Structure 1
Amino acid sequence: MASSSDPWMRELSDASKLADEVRDMISQRSSLLPSGPQTQRHMSTARRKMTILRTKLETLQSLLSKLPSKQILSAKETNRRRDMLDKLSVQAGEMAPTLNMSMSADRDNLFGLNRKQDDMMKKANDLDNHEQDEDFAQLEETVVSTKHIALAVNEELDLQTRLLDNLDEHVDSTNSRLQVRL
């Protein structure tokens, strides 16, 4: 059995607490106005915490898969940890659509996508097949370009989140050292 000083178990505990916070924030959303700055800030914070949670889960998974074969942990303990991590990952996966749905609904309203879709359908009915093929080729290029940009932004966001987490840990460590010296 792993001790409470085990860094992997501490990280799992932190991730579990973070998942609880996100779950609470999602349930609190019903007490807020359907839209507005407070609701947007609340859900933005929940999405940020969800991103941090996903990063922690990826880190835990990576650490668990990189354990040396002669590690102190038994196969039973490794499986137990894998099960705990899988359970937490499933919980995070169940919460993610709730956060994404609220974000995409707000985005649709903000950009008026429903109106744009109707306009596009009318325009498509007026075009012949050749023109539609050209438009689809242009659309494909745009989608591929947007995908690459989104992937790059996602990688940068993951990096920035990890850097912020690392900075937060260093600030806590420095603060603890200062408290001891004072």
Structure 2
Amino acid sequence: MASSSDTWMKEYNEAMKLADDINSMISERSSFPASGPETQRHASAIRRKITILGTRLDSLQSLLSKLPVKSEKEMNRRKDTLANLRSKVNQMASTLNMSNFANRDSLLGPEIKPDAMSRTVGLDNSGLVGLQRQIMKEQDDGLEKLERL
């Protein structure tokens, strides 16, 4: 069984690969025409991947806080590498004028939710469906809140 530290490193390496993929896609933008459907599709794909990467970074941050501390030095190293990657992602987002990505927390507040797995412990199928409906309602309420802004 892999330790949570190994899981964190695996997730981090996957996030780095995604960041490299996004960087190469941004570099490819110069080979596309200034406008047009193909250019828009490419830019949308980049934005989608940046959003996915942002979500992965949030997950890594959450995992980091749950890791058993081997040493303070190792924990600080991981925090620094995560902060550096988040900085890169914010730079990529600003390249594409994705200002809403960087301001997500300022719109909805920081996302502080219980771990999804801990919310499902002990639930049967109908309990899971009920939880899913509750989460969907919370998301709908959040969207309504955004629409009023």
Q: What range is the shorter-chain TM-score in? A: 0.5 to 0.7
Contact 2:69/2:75, CA 8 A, preserved across alignment: no
Q: Which residue of 2 aligns with 1:95?
A: 92
What secondary structure is seen at the aligned counterpart in 1 of 2:35? Answer: coil
Measured after TM superposition, the shift of residue 146 of structure 1 is 8.0
Q: Which residue of 1 aligns with 2:13?
A: 13
Distance 1:149 1:99, change over 3 A: same
Distance 1:78 1:150, change over 3 A: farther
Q: 1:81 aligns with which of 75, 78, 82?
A: 78
Cα offsets for 1:45-98 (capped at 9, x unmatched): 00000000000001111111233xxx2521111111111101101111111011
* Structure 1: 5+ residue stretches without partners: 102-144, 152-182
Distance 1:150 1:17, change over 3 A: farther
Aligned residue pairs: how many? Answer: 102
Work out the percentage of aligned pairs sharing the same amino acid.
57
Instruction: Compare the two structures and name the one with the higher helix fraction.
Output: 1
* Structure 2: 5+ residue stretches without partners: 99-142
TM-score (normalised: structure 1): 0.51
d(CA) in 2 for partners of 1:92 and 1:50? 7
TM-score (normalised: structure 2): 0.62
d(CA) in 2 for partners of 1:60 and 1:7? 10
What secondary structure is seen at the aligned counterpart in 1 of 2:96? Answer: helix
Matches within 5 A, 1:130-141: none
Instruction: Please state if 1:39 is matched with 2:44.
Output: no
Contact 2:19/2:89, CA 8 A, preserved across alignment: yes
Q: Hey, which bits of structure 1, 4+ residues long, moved more than 2 A?
A: none
Distance 1:150 1:20, change over 3 A: farther
d(CA) in 1 for partners of 2:48 and 2:29? 15
Please give the root-mean-square deviation of Cα atoms over the aligned residues, in Å. 2.4
d(CA) in 1 for partners of 2:59 and 2:148? 22
